[in-house]
Amino acid sequence: MERKTRNNRGSGGTERERKKVDNVSGSYNRSSGTIERSRARNGKTPEWKRDGRKPKGRVPKRNLKRSYATRKKKVPQIVWTILSIMAIILMIFFIFRSCSNTNNDTKATSAENIKITSDAVIAGVSLKGLTVEEAKTAIETGMAWNLLIVNGDRTYELPNPFITQIDELLTQVVEVTAESENRNSESNEGNVYEFDNKKAMEEMILAVDDIANEWDTPAKNAGVSAFNKETRKFEFAEGEPGRIVNKTELLNKIETALNSNVYSGMLDASLDASKPDLTIEDARSQYRIIGTFTTTVSQAAQFAKRNKNIRIASEAIDGQIIERGAIFSINEATGEHTIEKGYEPAGTYVNGVLVEEPGGGVCQVSSTLYNAVIFAGLNTTERYAHSFEPAYVKPGEDAMISYNAHDMKFENNTIDSIGILATLAEGKLTISIYGIPILEEGVTREMYTEKAGELPYEGEPEYIEDPTLQPGEEVVDRPAEAGNRYITYSVIKRNGVEISREFLHNSRYRGKAPVIRRNTGAASIAETDPITGEPITTAETSERADNEHVSETTRQPETTKPPEVTTTRAPETTAAPTTQAVTQAPEPETTAAQTETNPPEPEISSDEVGPWMDTQ
């Protein structure tokens, strides 16, 4: 039995121990029982490492620990150095900031607590022996500012224009006090500090402008005041005088009060009468049709309910008068489209699905009005594109509405009131704007729309089971239609020559998935004609037209004449309402430069009627 003790290691160790050591780098001294590592310490490569072999025995731990420790210390030293530098920088920053804030607070506190030793006087108040805060309170109390502007039962309190000057004068007094303390002088000769009334009047001018904005009543020009639906003519009314604050007189009164050191009391403001710019004769001679537009309404029997809705909506806006500066909302003018108001269920899109709802078709009224407004030069404030491309106007030039969700609004930015004329006759819907022209003689405004790209259709193909087809047969009833994106510009022309072009809005329209008829059954059933009773062949069945109802953004049936879009304008010499048509000017060609300089599109969000919309 072999025993292993510390004593026998000194006498050379056991045979098993000597074999283990022989495999380690270095040599084993049998007489002393120790390992000689001189070769490794001398920097020479051990035999096992030089031959590319791994040692079978245990490598001396001291060498391994030394190399591992050396590698381990390199990275932490760099990291700790960087962290230490950053910590020192942060400490210096916070110390500096703290000292700065302390100094500022100390200066502010000391300035407020400084007692004024000079015989300074501001607004008749002696400041000697008072701190800055006490002096400020004493001055404001002594002034007792309460200057009011009155007119009848209206009152306006003028703001104290000397607040800023009080702080500035007190700063000067404190500086004088500090100088006297440096000279060890207990008192100074008295100093009277005066307010700068001219500087105060600059603030009073702003205050008087505010008074005028609140109290002025501008004169109302003569213009259209009512509409006779029997004669289909607008009636005119005389203008009304206005009342305007006499600002020059009021400012003189305020300046006199300030120069006399009168800081409380009431000053009367006079309101002078102002005459209208236009008399009734001037208005009658200047009013004319300033913008008009016509769209085609299908007279097919299947569109009877839709056409009824168009008639109700157009009659609701016919004769409407919009005062100068007012905003017109077509939703407010027509109200909610309900059965009680006579609206019929007709085709409309809800979330991209064609459904029957009361009021289907009213978007043709809003789109026709929108074009008339643009041609008149008026400012539109709200407009949305349809879910799908419309058929009665050019894509990008429509205006979708849905009550309490989407509206079409515009502002009357003319110098007088304007009126709306709307007629539906012989399949033509014509809407005109009646007012005083905004655009100069020979200047016109149009819309130019160009296609900016295509959009993939959404959803899966619609499959219709048709047992009259052969088993497994599929027939495309309606091919897929890609969606489109359009950019519309406002184009100004003088005598037919374009002089400016500005971005108006973006429009996006969804594509349509294909409609496919198929027979997934095992047999075919012949379709028979309901009149003759004879079987109908598959070829005849596949030729049936898709008579999908065309509402806001639907297509007209193939048997119906395609809708026409006609832009009409009144002759410049016309002085009364008219709907005489003039052919729209041809559109300018699309250039590559225009496409490259398109403005960015606004964000598009989903809505109840359709996911594609665009707000101006």
- State the sign of the Cα–Cα–Cα–Cα dihedral 383, 388, 389, 393: negative
> Whose CA is closest to 576, among 285, 168, 255?
285
Give me 27's structure tokens: 């040599």
Q: Are 468 and 357 in contact (CB under 8 A)?
A: no
Q: What is the pLDDT of residue 9?
A: 44
Of residues 555 and 416, the one with the higher pLDDT is 416
Nearest to 60, CA basis, from 11, 27, 16: 27
Type of residue at 504: L
pLDDT tens digits, residue range 39-56? 444 455 555 555 555 555
3-class state of residue 217 by DSSP = strand
In angstroms, rounded to a whole number, what is the distance separating the alpha carbons of residues 48 and 39? 12
Can you tell me the distance from the alpha carbon of 298 to that of 346, in angstroms, rounded to the nearest whole number?
14
- What is residue 435's predicted lDDT score, i.e. its pLDDT? 96
N-term to C-term CA, the chain:
102
Phi then psi dihedrals of residue 106, to 5 deg: -65, -45
Write out the DSSP string of 497-549.
EEEEEEEEEEEEE--B--EEEE--SSS---EE-TTT-PEEPHHHHHT------
Answer for the pair 292, 579: CB distance below 8 angstroms, yes or no: yes
pLDDT of 21 above 90: no
The pLDDT tens digits of the residues spanning 493-522 come to: 999 999 999 999 999 999 999 999 999 987
Q: Using CA atoms in the order 86, 87, 92, 97, what is the torsion angle rounded to 10 degrees?
A: 100
Q: Using 50, 70 and 90 to split pLDDT, how confident is the model at 550?
A: very low
Residue 150 pLDDT greater than 50, yes or no = yes
The helices-and-strands tally (H runs, E runs) of the chain is: 15, 30
**pLDDT score recorded for residue 379:** 95
Residue 110 or 181, more confident: 181
Query: In this predicted model, what pLDDT tens digit does every residue of 158-167 receive, in sequence order?
Result: 999 999 999 9
Q: List, for residues 343-379, the tens digit of each pLDDT value.
A: 988 877 766 667 778 888 999 999 999 999 999 999 9
Element (H, E) at 364: helix 362-376
Domain spans of the chain, in order of start: 6-59, 114-286, 287-596
Distances (CA, A) of 129 to 163, 177, 180, 194, 545: 22, 11, 14, 20, 101
Percent of the chain with pLDDT over 90: 50
Give the pLDDT confidence of 243-271 residue by residue, as tens digits.
999 999 999 999 999 999 999 999 999 99
Question: By C-alpha distance, which of 380, 367, 314, 372 is closest to 569?
Answer: 372
Condensed to tens digits (0 to 9), the pLDDT of residues 310-319 reads 999 999 999 9
What is residue 91's predicted lDDT score, i.e. its pLDDT? 85
Of 285-289, 475-479, 529-533, 602-606, the one with minimum mean pLDDT is 602-606
Q: Are 479 and 514 in contact (CB under 8 A)?
A: yes
**pLDDT higher at 568 or 440:** 440
In which residue are the tokens 């399949």 written? 427
Q: Mean pLDDT, to the nearest integer, of 76-101?
A: 79
Whole-number Å distance between alpha carbons of 98 and 118: 34
25 has a pLDDT exceeding 90: no
Query: Among 216, 569, 233, 223, which Cα is nearest to 415's?
Result: 223
* 79-83, 401-405, 552-556: least confident range: 552-556
- Is 579's pLDDT higher than 70? no
Give 481's DSSP letter.
Answer: B
The predicted model scores a pTM of 0.61
Closest CA to 512 of 447, 583, 562, 462: 462
**What are the tens digits of pLDDT across the range 227-248?**
999 999 999 999 999 999 999 9
Whether 394 has a pLDDT exceeding 90, the answer reads yes
pLDDT tops 50 at residue 205: yes
Q: Which pLDDT value is given to residue 567?
A: 42
Inform me whether the pLDDT recorded for 600 exceeds 60. no
pLDDT at site 127: 85
To the nearest whole number, what is the mean pLDDT of the chain?
77
CB of 138 closer than 8 Å to CB of 125 = yes
**Which residue carries 């009833």 as its tokens?**
477
